[in-house]
Amino acid sequence: MPESGNDRHLGGFATTVSLPVAWGEMDALGHVNNAVFFRYFESARIAYLEEIGLDGSVGTVGPILGSTHCKFIRPIIFPDHIRIGARAVRYAADRFEMEYRIFSERLEAVAAEGGAVVVAFDYKTRAKASLPRAVVDRIRALDPQVRKWDR
């Protein structure tokens, strides 16, 4: 569920989502499995995509994940409640780069940071596409600090 990102840990993140940590997300070592962090990022990314209108619900152009990464800072352990922030930091004609941050309420600290490149993709022609102008305008309105990506 999207919420405001205005606090000292997630300030500056245009979109935040809040999730409970499930017991089943932990692995044999007693902490949330590293692969689950990418699902947490995905939840924030999907909320962000819905806010900018690139969720694939209109037309044939939608998002496809080009790359993603995570820096694990602290282990998350059940029970906990986390907040995940997402924002765009750069954009080009056909893609934009995102940053994520996961804040653990139990630890009262940032547990992970990461990022991704989201590429506009035409699912009808099965080829890369240009970001629709309306999407770029929404990114720029939602994330005023975003800059043009000189690739």
pLDDT tens per residue, range 56-101: 776 889 999 999 999 999 999 999 999 999 999 999 999 999 999 9
User: Where do we find the tokens 């690739």?
Assistant: 151
pTM, full prediction: 0.92
On whether residue 147 sits in a domain, the answer given is no
Q: In 3D, which of 71, 137, 64, 136 has the Cα closest to residue 99?
A: 71
pLDDT tens per residue, range 31-62: 999 999 999 999 999 999 999 999 877 688 99
For 111-150, letters b (16+ CB in 10 Å) and e give bbbbbbbbbbbeeeeeeebebbeebbebbbeebeebeeee
Specify the CATH number for the domain of residue 132: 3.10.129.10
pLDDT above 90 as % of the chain = 87
Q: How much is the pLDDT for 151?
A: 63
User: Where do we find the tokens 């989201």?
Assistant: 118
Total tally of structural domains belonging to the chain:
1
On whether residue 8 sits in a domain, the answer given is yes
On whether residue 150 sits in a domain, the answer given is no
| Beta carbons of 9 and 103 less than 8 angstroms apart | yes
Structural domain harbouring 100: 2-142
DSSP secondary structure code for residue 118 in this structure: E
On whether residue 149 sits in a domain, the answer given is no
Q: How much is the pLDDT for 15?
A: 96
